[in-house]
Chain A
Amino acid sequence: MAQDILNKKATEVLIIGGSAGSLEVILHALPLLSNPLKIAIIIVLHRKSSSESILTELLCIKTSIPVKEADEKEFIKSGTIYLAPADYHLLIEKDRTFSLDYSEKINFSRPCIDLTFQTAAEVYRESLAALLLSGANADGVEGLELIQLTGGLTAVQNPEDAKISYMPQHALDKLKPDLILNKDEVADFINRLH
């Protein structure tokens, strides 16, 4: 089934949302990604604002694919991995550029995963894919529902495989994603997106 859906869909952008326990999944998958990457990846993680540039460096070490923090007004290009900056919401504009927003925290979070999911869904629609990982927060679930509604591809980490099951479990309670993935399957999933 997994194969089918991945073969059928043409994806431009994958957004990965995660909170507590999600970084290890990303660090595990990064070295296994094929370069060049056919799509753009946008990573939105909840984190302490202080750990800022360290996180970009941490990800850079793990892959030869270019990894950078998303700059405001930057055009989203395939073949690149973008990281949402700490303490700003990351929004996607219709012209496929990023914009930043310093409004109130949502779900106790800034960046808020729902917000990036929502604005991206309205721009990319069927050509959007999203993956929601481990976390102790409900952020991202509503956005995932919208992505499903607008025809995008949805994937959720298997709660049993996640370090903190709350976030992926909450997603499964609310929707039936196209794919449920273990940590070990994430890289393969991403490599198949095209």
Chain B
Amino acid sequence: MQESLITDENVELLLADLLEVYGYDFTDYSRASLKRRINRLYSLDKFPSFAEFRYHLRSDATYLKRFVEQITVNVTEMFRDPGFYKALREEVLPNLGTYPFIRIWLAGCSTGEEAYSMAILLQEANLFHKSLLYATDINPSVLEKAGKGIFPLSQMKQYSENYILSGGKKDFSSYYSANYDLAKFDEVLKTKMIFSTHNLVSDHSFNEFQLILCRNVLIYFDKDLQAKVFKLFDESLDNLGFLALGSKETLQFSPIASKFKKSGSEKIWRKIS
């Protein structure tokens, strides 16, 4: 292993370029992950020099697309952290049931595994018919995948275990049809999903929700940007709405903490004022 070819200063130059040329603002992202991803891309695409890399990014808008796709982390799973989904089933959904219409925002949904998990929960709680899932991400190509609802069959064993641990009572395979090495999820699940790009850094609130899920996105943001995004979520939540974060993220020290009350042991908060 050698030292990163792309230096800290190089990273700052690229981020400044992205903002100046394309209006994409990554300047409040944590640097260690960005630096690693940019290095990886630089090696992968075999640029002869940093200058060439930089020039290419500045002048070729199609390369921008690849760049954004590659420096963001899109790893995700269905029913990741089963205990979290169990808490959604037992503590959150019964509350949402009292609303005539349920709007849920999955911010940073990546390739959609979370959205399909959520749709399954809603079906099993008999709330699906009156729900709408808004699944958003900064990266259009993951949304395209999410819209297909097709995931590797090799993952299903793990997902099925997660599903059962989350309190699922059905045969998980009843939700998809297997075709060669792919699992295609029931088309019905998609009928209540809306996929759209949304950049948490720069885009505004677009509706009022009863539940917002934003998991494993904020770990990539610095404290200031986290605070800004929390404000956006606060503005986008109904008075008694729920906010759910990833297992290592917290609302605790944020400026909006006093308006929320933690519900149970999972990373779920309820708005109280």
Using CB atoms and an 8 Å cutoff, list the residues of chain A in contact with chain B: 71-73, 85, 88, 91-94, 99-104, 114-115, 118-119, 121-122, 142-143, 145-146, 149-150
B31 touching A103, Cβ below 8 Å:
no
In the assembled complex, B27 has its CB within 8 A of some CB on chain A: no
Q: Please, how many angstroms separate the alpha-carbon atoms of A72 and B222 in the complex?
A: 10
User: In the bound complex, do residue B4 and residue A122 qualify as a contact, i.e. CB atoms below 8 Å apart?
Assistant: yes
Contacts of B32 in A (CB 8 A): 91-94, 99, 101, 119
> Do residues A85 and B33 form an inter-chain contact, with CB atoms below 8 A?
no
Which of the listed residues A72, A102, A104, A119 has the most CB atoms from chain B within 10 Å of its own CB? Answer: A102
Q: How far is the CA of A91 from the CA of B219 in the complex (A)?
A: 11
Supply 8 further A-B pairs (C-beta < 8 A) apart from A99-B33, A102-B219. Answer: A72-B219, A73-B30, A88-B248, A99-B32, A101-B219, A103-B73, A121-B3, A145-B1
Task: Select one of B33, B37, B216, B223 contacting A73, CB under 8 A.
Answer: B223
Chain A-chain B contacts (Cβ-Cβ < 8 Å), number: 61
- The 8 A CB mask of B62-92 against A (1 = contact, 0 = none) is 0000000000010100000000000000000
Cross-chain contact of A102 among B1, B73, B222, B250 (Cβ < 8 A):
B73
**Any chain A CB within 8 A of the CB of B36?**
yes
Is chain A's interface secondary structure helix, strand, loop, or mixed overall?
A: mixed
Given A101-B219, A103-B73, A118 contacting B1 (CB threshold 8 A): yes
Taking the closest CB of chain A, its distance from the CB of B262, in whole angstroms, is 16
CA A190 to CA B165, docked complex, whole Å: 41
Given known contacts A72-B249, A102-B75, A142 and B1 CB-to-CB distance under 8 angstroms? yes
Q: Which residues does chain A contribute within 8 Å of B216, judged by CB atoms?
A: 102
A118 CA to B37 CA, complexed, in Å: 13
List the 8 shortest-distance A-B pairs measured between CB atoms, nearest first.
A142-B1, A91-B32, A99-B30, A146-B1, A103-B73, A100-B219, A102-B216, A101-B33
With contact pairs A102-B75, A142-B1 given, residues A119 and B36 touching in the complex (Cβ less than 8 Å): yes
Contact in complex: B30, A93 (CB < 8 Å): yes
Q: From residue A62, how far is it (CB to closest CB) to chain B in Å? A: 24
| Nearest A residue (CB) for B76 | A102
Q: Which residues of B contact A149 (CB under 8 A)?
A: 2-3
Which residues of the partner chain A approach B33 to less than 8 Å between Cβ atoms?
A: 91, 99, 101, 103
* A–B pairs, 15, beta carbons within 8 Å: A72-B249, A73-B223, A85-B248, A93-B32, A94-B32, A101-B33, A102-B219, A103-B73, A115-B36, A119-B32, A143-B1, A145-B1, A146-B1, A149-B2, A149-B3
Contact of B222 among A73, A91, A121, A143 (CB under 8 A): A73
A145–B2 Cα distance when bound, in Å, is 8
Q: What residues of B have a CB within 8 angstroms of the CB of A150 in the complex?
A: 3
Q: Mark B7-34, 1 if CB is under 8 A from A, else 0.
A: 0100000000000000000000011110
Residues of A within 8 A of B4 (CB): 122
In the bound complex, how far is the Cα of B216 from the Cα of A154, in angstroms? Answer: 33
Bound together, the chains give a CA A117 to CA B138 distance in angstroms of 30
Q: Return B66 CB to nearest CB of chain A, in Å.
A: 17
Chain B contacts of A73 at CB under 8 A? 30, 222-223
Bound form: Cα–Cα A168–B87 in Å: 42
The CA of A114 and the CA of B249, in the complex, are separated in Å by 24
**B3 and A100 contact, CB distance less than 8 A:** no
Q: Which of B1, B37, B73, B75 has the most CB of A within 10 A?
A: B1
With A101-B73, A101-B219, A103-B75: A114-B30 Cβ-Cβ less than 8 Å:
no
- Check A146 against B248 for contact (C-beta < 8 Å): no
Nearest chain B residue, comparing its CB with the CB of A142: B1
Chain B residues positioned under 8 Å from A142 (CB to CB) = 1
Q: Which residues of A contact B30 (CB under 8 A)?
A: 73, 91, 93, 99
Please give, as numbers and ranges, the residues of chain B lying within 8 Å of A94 by CB-CB distance: 8, 31-32
Question: Are the C-beta atoms of B248 and A71 separated by less than 8 Å?
Answer: yes
Q: Nearest CB to that of B215 among chain A residues? A: A102
Measured CB to CB, the nearest residue on chain A to B7 is: A122
Partner of A122, one of B3, B220, B222: B3
* Chain A residues whose C-beta falls within 8 Å of the C-beta of B3 in the assembled complex: 121-122, 146, 149-150
A121 to B3, CA, bound (A): 9
**Residue in B closest to A71 when the chains form the complex, CB atoms:** B248
Q: Are B31 and A93 in contact (CB under 8 A)?
A: yes
A118 to B3, CA, bound (A): 8
Task: Determine the distance from Cα of A102 to Cα of B247 in the docked complex, in whole angstroms.
Answer: 11
